[in-house]
Amino acid sequence: MDTTCTLYYNGPAVSRSDVRQHVQGQERERFSSEIASYLDHLYRVAFHLARNDDEAQDCVQETCARALSAYGQFIPGSNLKAWLTRILYNFFFDSYARNKRVVAADDLVDSANQDKDFWETVSADQAGPEKQFLQRELGAKIGAALNKIPEEFRTPIVLVDMGDFSYAEAAEILCCPIGTVRSRLSRGRKLIHKQLSGYLGKSGTER
Amino acid sequence: MRCEEAQELITARVDNELSADERASIDAHLKTCADCALAFEQESALKRRLQASSREVTAPLALRRDIESKLAGGESTHAARFGAWFEAFSWRPAFALAALLIVAASLLYVKWPAPNVGLAALATHQKILGGKTSLIRSNDPIEVRRELARAVGERFQPVALDFSIMKLYPVAGFIETIGGREVLVTVYQGDGPAITCFTFLGSETDAPAEAEKFYDADMGLNFYSFSRDGLNGVLHREGGVICLLVSKMAPADLLALLRGKSAHA
């Protein structure tokens, strides 16, 4: 597995000079438009990485600014979503992640609600305001559980489960081997599951 | 295969990231190991929940507008940062065109009367019902209120309404500009006809000319009721802030809700 920090690219080989000649007026406008189409995705990833709105908004603003500044470095036809996410992750890591308090992975069980059988109450297909309310509350619980796990385990979950990236794409963004993504995903999901055990019922699965 | 070895393969199986051989191997193990089969089901359920939870998070409207404005070459509230945006692109012709459009839009604005907010609100509600409006859905109604108030510089904030007794809950909020005025829109959905609440700075003249006027002597307040195309609106003023409710709900019921809200304000 190549672990060098190259920008994610799965298209045909294109030289940098070819790229510069290619990127002209309309292409730039399209580039801006494509960036705008990923704002929800970028904010989603930033929000789950930063765990607060202000830092998430700052990350997205900076990502867009840097993407435009580095426009000439983007290879047309390659994976813009992954490229933008890589910029965002690098900015987040340099600006915020280094200063975050690390939470101990062994002390993550939320015992306050052990008696609830939340997931068995709420299934994804249920409608109605009460069920919608419960689903929203479950979403908040999941978000809280995600926020408590260490960044090294949270990030692969944010990229793969919430960002819809493949293991290979997540590995490129994180600049690590695919096997590391897989092992951290496995560990991270177990940590979240452990925290939500009070909401999962006996089986821990949906009905 | 030992169960310890199976754990990461289960994760990759959930994500459909296995080769054919690996998949056959883990599937064979899952058929014979109830604990690992349960772990697979649990992890699959968790992934679905994480995905569903994630879809609830969308970029705040103010952030979206700010960035889209910058991407289009508009004004920036972060001039220093976005100096880089404009270094990246040479958009002087675009600026000139934008300036012309702004001048033209100003002329049109002067020439044409501003749309009535009450009637525009009916149209907005209809678009929401038809799924033609993108909504910022949120788990946190307080945060939605705060976000909307922040977007208008805290000059005013959405009126706080509790329709939980009717099983209607605030699910989304956004800002709409009508006739050059910023209108805070909060969407209540649940069991029964949805209600959209519009809050803005205005006067009682924002009620359509056709609106019926009711004077509540006990409260000393005027209420206005109007209908069009099966949608009903009721409006009243508190100081300089207008609260307007729009729904398919019967006008009398809407009026009762608004009067109840004012009685507890």
Q: Any idea which fold A111-200 has? A: Arc Repressor Mutant, subunit A (1.10.10)
HEC string of B59-82 equals: CCHHHHHHHHHHHCCCCCCCHHHH
Contact list in A for residue B30 (CB cut-off 8 A) is none
Q: Which residue range forms the structural domain that includes residue B204? A: 117-263
Looking at the structure, do residues B158 and B78 belong to the same domain, yes or no?
no
Q: What mean pLDDT, rounded, does chain A reach?
A: 71
| Cβ contact A48–B56 (<8 Å) | no
d(CA A203, CA B61): 39
d(CA B30, CA B10): 9
Identify residue B224 by its one-letter amino acid code.
Y
What's residue A135's pLDDT?
Answer: 59
Q: Which of B55, B78, B99 corresponds to the end of one domain?
A: B55
| Residue A112 DSSP label | G
Q: Which of B46, B59, B169 sits opposite A129 (nearest CB)?
A: B169
| Cβ contact A205–B56 (<8 Å) | no
Looking at the structure, do residues B165 and B201 belong to the same domain, yes or no?
yes
What's residue B208's pLDDT?
Answer: 87
Which of A30, A31, A62, A185 should be substituted to probe chain B, the one whose Cβ sees the most B Cβ atoms within 10 Å?
A: A185
Contact B56, B136 (CB under 8 A): no
Looking at the structure, do residues B159 and B42 belong to the same domain, yes or no?
no
Looking at the structure, do residues B67 and B186 belong to the same domain, yes or no?
no
Whether A20 shows a pLDDT value over 50: the answer reads no
Q: How many domains does chain B have?
A: 3
Mean pLDDT for A45-74 is 86
Looking at the structure, do residues B44 and B172 belong to the same domain, yes or no?
no
pLDDT digits (tens, 9 = 90+) for A135-185: 566 667 787 888 888 888 999 999 999 898 999 999 989 888 999 999 999
Identify residue A130 by its one-letter amino acid code.
E
Quickly state the pLDDT bin for A25 (edges 50, 70, 90): low
Strands of the B195-201 sheet, one edge to the other = B136-137, B168-178, B181-190, B195-201, B241-247, B231-238, B221-228, B212-216
Q: Which of A43, A142, A186 sits opposite B63 (nearest CB)?
A: A43
Name the B residues in 160-179 with CB < 8 Å from any A CB: 167-169, 171
Contact B37, A30 (CB under 8 A): no
For residue B76, is it left (φ>0), alpha (ψ between -120 and 50) or beta? beta
Higher pLDDT, A188 or A120: A188
HEC string of B13-30 equals: HHCCCCCHHHHHHHHHHH
Query: H/E element holding A183?
Result: helix A178-195
Whether A22 shows a pLDDT value over 80: the answer reads no
Q: Which of B11, B143, B168 sits opposite A189 (nearest CB)?
A: B11
| Cβ contact A140–B139 (<8 Å) | yes
Q: Where are the alpha helices (DSSP H) in chain B?
A: 3-14, 20-32, 34-55, 61-71, 79-88, 92-111, 117-129, 141-151, 251-263
pLDDT along chain B (265 residues), means of 10: 87 90 91 91 88 82 85 50 46 50 50 70 88 69 80 83 83 82 87 90 85 81 88 88 92 84 53
Tokens encoding B189: 């959905």
What's residue B102's pLDDT?
Answer: 54
The answer, for A182 touching chain B at a CB cutoff of 8 Å, is: yes
Of all residues in chain A, the one with the smallest CA distance to B56 is A139
What's residue B149's pLDDT?
Answer: 84
Is ipTM beyond 0.85?
no
Quickly state the pLDDT bin for A98 (edges 50, 70, 90): low
Each domain of chain A, given as residue ranges in start order, spans: 16-99, 111-200
Residues 6+ positions from B46 with CB-CB distance below 8 Å? A189, A192, A193, A196
Contact B73, B86 (CB under 8 A): yes
Name the A residues in 6-65 with CB < 8 Å from any B CB: 28, 32-33, 35-36, 39-40, 42-44, 47-48, 53, 57, 60-62, 64-65
Q: Among candidates A192, A170, A17, which has minimal Cα distance to A89?
A: A170
| Cβ contact B50–A157 (<8 Å) | yes
CATH of residue B234: 3.30.200.100
Q: Any idea which fold A16-99 has? A: Rna Polymerase Sigma Factor; Chain: A (1.10.1740)
Tokens encoding B19: 């080769």
d(CA A187, CA A180): 11
What's residue A141's pLDDT?
Answer: 79
d(CA A105, CA A93): 20
Looking at the structure, do residues B131 and B37 belong to the same domain, yes or no?
no
Looking at the structure, do residues B229 and B143 belong to the same domain, yes or no?
yes
Looking at the structure, do residues B38 and B83 belong to the same domain, yes or no?
no
Looking at the structure, do residues B122 and B19 belong to the same domain, yes or no?
no
Identify residue A32 by its one-letter amino acid code.
S
Measure B222 CA to nearest chain A CA, in Å.
32
What's residue B198's pLDDT?
Answer: 93
Looking at the structure, do residues B250 and B127 belong to the same domain, yes or no?
yes
Contact A15, A9 (CB under 8 A): no
What's residue B116's pLDDT?
Answer: 85
What's residue A136's pLDDT?
Answer: 60
What's residue A122's pLDDT?
Answer: 38
Helix, strand or coil, per DSSP, at residue B244: strand
Looking at the structure, do residues B152 and B254 belong to the same domain, yes or no?
yes
Looking at the structure, do residues B247 and B130 belong to the same domain, yes or no?
yes
